[in-house]
Structure 1
Amino acid sequence: MVPNASVRIYRPRQMESIREEHRLKWRLHLSGSVRRFLAMICVVALVVGLLITQFFYGQMMDMRAQAEQLRGVNSQIYNQNVALLAQRARLTSKDRIVAVAAVKLNLFEPDQGQVRRM
């Protein structure tokens, strides 16, 4: 048996009115010019957001490059400091001081028999 064309699925009228109220509640009644204006604002906000993101990305890359340069300079300074500390240790060693004093000032370390303690 084939149903007639005017037969519909039964839905209570309360359900239809609730759905319609819900649909009307969330529907915005805006004119075309206001919708176009809001769309333009959204597009402009998106573009500005992307530009700001790219700006901060560029700043971060510049800071990363500066940090790499500073790291290189810092390692050079560290290596130079180690070399200078080693040179200072060589120059201030007791053997070096005694040798320089003997040559330049004609001073010598006293022997065991020359030192008397009271």
Structure 2
Amino acid sequence: MVVSKAKARKQPEIAFRLPGEQGKMLAAMVGVALVLGLALTQVFHGQVVDMRAKAGQLQARNTAIANENVRLLAARAQVASKTQVAALAKTKLKLFEPDQGQVRRM
């Protein structure tokens, strides 16, 4: 074993000391900054929560409107069908389809 006789060097200590009044002022400013930071975080969190709730409501409304659109398209297709139009023409307008002999082609 090799034993080193060199002395271990001491690392210089960095001391950051402030006079009493400046230290108290710095501590107060750090405390105020911390409280303001937390308050600002809470405000942003509240806005995010509100936006998520509004997005959920809008998504539900969009789904309801899409379902209503599908229902209305089905109702329109039924009303515009040839059998429905012919039935309404017979009952309300007293119209009928001509027989084969009644149609003349020119």
Aligned match for 1:73, one of 56, 61, 71: 61
Matched, 1:88 2:76: yes
> Which of 24, 27, 32 is 2:20 aligned to?
32
CA offset at residue 51 of structure 1?
A: 0.8
RMSD: 2.2
The separation in 1 between residues aligned to 2:63 and 2:18, in whole angstroms, is: 64
Specify the code of the residue in structure 1 equivalent to 2:20: G
TM-score, length-normalised on structure 1?
0.72
1:48 to 36, 41, 50: 36
TM-superposed deviation, 1:104: 1.1
Partner residue, 1:4: none
1:6 aligns to what?
Answer: none
Task: From 70, 87, 104, give the equivalent of 1:99.
Answer: 87
Distance in 2, matches of 1:54 and 1:78, equals: 36
1:112 to partner: Cα distance: 3.0
**How many residue pairs were aligned?**
101
Residues 1:109 and 2:97 are matched in the alignment: yes
- Percent sequence identity over aligned pairs: 50
**Match of 2:80, as an amino acid?**
T
> Deviation per CA, 1:48-105, whole angstroms, max 9, x where unpaired?
1111111111111111111112222222222121111111111111101011111111
TM-score (norm 2): 0.79
Q: Tell me by how many angstroms 1:111 deviates.
A: 3.0
Equivalent position amino acid for 1:89 in 2: A
The AA in structure 2 aligned to 1:44 is V
Structure 2: gaps spanning 5 or more residues: 1-5
